[in-house]
Amino acid sequence: MASLTLDKVRKAFGPVEVLKEINLAIEDGEFLVLVGPSGCGKSTLLNLIAGLESSTDGEIRIGDRVINDVHPKDRNIAMVFQSYALYPNMTVRKNITFGLEIRGVSAQERDKAVADVAKLLQIEALLDRKPSQLSGGQRQRVAMGRALVRDPDIFLFDEPLSNLDAKLRVDMRTEIKKLHQRLGSTIVYVTHDQIEAMTLASRIAVMKDGILQQFDTPQNIYERPNNMFVAGFIGSPSMNFVNATLIDNNGQLAVSIEREGNPITLPLFEAPESYKAYAGKKVVFGIRPEALTHKRTGSDEPGSQYVNFDSKVEVIEPTGADTMTVIEIAGKEIVARVRPDRAPTPGESMTFSADMSQISLFDPDTELRI
């Protein structure tokens, strides 16, 4: 177990810059999740840490050791691949012990190690099968076993759950989390599933086009996204964005949204300092669906964080726990999360409450958080 530091790491394949100045540092025992859309460079970053690719520039350290020029096998890392990459010609037992054998661990110790890992992952019954005789979930476990048996400083996971069906994915997610809590190991985990990222991570690094967008705890990323990309990427359904103007409403800042006939004015009761510079200017108003609900009790009282407004309902999408209610404001479709018993019928007009303590404002040009 060890800390991991990436210092101004860049990677180019020929003329194409795939990673641009990545700075990341995690402590011993942290669970770092790299998320981002397909092709943003997550796997490349993982390969750099593993040593399967060499960085064009920058420094990678495990603990205090610079590992840029260290061979993958000497980095004391273990990796689980998206395709699992089990050796098809070897039994599960052989798959798990291959690395130990190459490293010259005695047969006795290997047997013990494989027994321990098999017990931990509950794959004892599968040890003498070939990978082709396993189900997807079982293969995934074996791939984990191959990594666990080595007791490395850092585990690297490259989308280990993306080949599993939805139910199994949720189960395995929980198991990986348990495993991390039990072993306290340092993990770097790649996924493009933002729910996986939120549930597993101690810290999340959101990437786009090879640029690190934000590196923070899941809660901070969710509540205070750095920019519109992060805001839109994390959270499901994703954050609503509406073009608006920040106005001075009798000495109090308010978000004003143009709407045919009657504009919506949403006063901000505890506006941060940073908003002042944008008074009178255009902004992008961001609000998550759960912060936009049916009318709340107490929302009529003065000074409430909830602000009410009326809107016609376009579409409803029941999900069971909540009903996603689509309304249209300023030409944009906006999703509100409404309790099923308060769900409207399409076409009806209804009063919504916006929780103004949970909103984000962005600069329309730079798309950065204000």
Partner 1 sequence: MADLQTYSHDAGWKNTVLRGLLYLVLILFAAYYLFPLIVMVSTSLKSLDEIREGSLISLPRVVTFDAWNYAWNEACVGVECTGIKIYFWNSVKMAIPAVLISTFLGAINGYALTKWRFKGANIVFALLLFGCFIPFQVVLLPMSQVLGKLGLASSTPGLVMVHVVYGLCFTTLFFRNYYVSIPDELVKAATIDGAGFFTIFWRIILPISTPIIVVSVIWQFTQIWNDFLFGASFASGENAPMTVALNNIVNTTTGVKQYNVDMAAALLTGLPTLLVYVLAGKYFVRGLTAGSVKG
Ligand X SMILES: Nc1ncnc2c1ncn2[C@@H]1O[C@H](COP(=O)(O)OP(=O)(O)OP(=O)(O)O)[C@@H](O)[C@H]1O
Nearest to 19 by CA among 30, 198, 228, 47: 47
Is residue 91 a contact point for partner 1 (CB under 8 A)? no
In which element (H, E) is residue 252 found?
strand 252-257
Helix (H, G, I), strand (E, B) or coil at 181: helix
Q: Residue 104 phi/psi, 5° resolution?
A: 80, 25
Contact range with ligand X by CB under 6 A, out of 11-19, 117-125, 196-204, 213-221: 11-19
- Smallest gap from residue 140 Cβ to ligand X (A): 17
Q: How many residues does the structure list for the chain? A: 370
Dist. CA 217–CA 31, nearest whole Å? 10
| Contacted entry of partner 1, Mg ion, ligand X, none for residue 18, CB cut-off 5 to 8 Å set by kind | ligand X
Which one of 4, 40, 164, 359 is in contact with ligand X (CB under 6 A)? 40
Q: Would you tell me how many other CB atoms lie within 10 Å of the CB of residue 244?
A: 24
Whether the Cβ atoms of residue 41 and residue 11 lie closer than 8 Å to each other: yes
Q: For residue 284, give both structure tokens.
A: 């992008």
Contact 199, 173 (CB under 8 A): yes
Site membership for ligand X, residue 138 (CB under 6 A)? no
Q: Which helix (H) or strand (E) holds 263?
A: none
Measured from the CB atom, the residue of 185 and 226 that comes closer to partner 1 is 185
Residue 99 as a binder of partner 1 (CB under 8 A): the answer is yes
| CB closer to partner 1, 11 vs 146 | 146
Residue 73 interacts with, from ligand X, Mg ion, partner 1, none (CB under 5-8 Å by kind): partner 1
Q: Which of 26, 30, 41, 253 binds ligand X (CB under 6 A)?
A: 41
Applying CB under 8 A, among 93, 146, 169, 180 the residue interacting with partner 1 is 146
Residue labelled with tokens 């505890």: 270
Taking CB under 6 A as the binding criterion, the range among 39-47, 70-78, 123-131, 318-326 that sits at the site for ligand X is 39-47
For partner 1, which is the closer residue by CB, 38 or 132?
Answer: 132
Taking CB under 6 A as the rule, does residue 44 contact ligand X? yes
Binding residues for ligand X (CB under 6 A): 13, 16, 18, 36, 38-44, 192
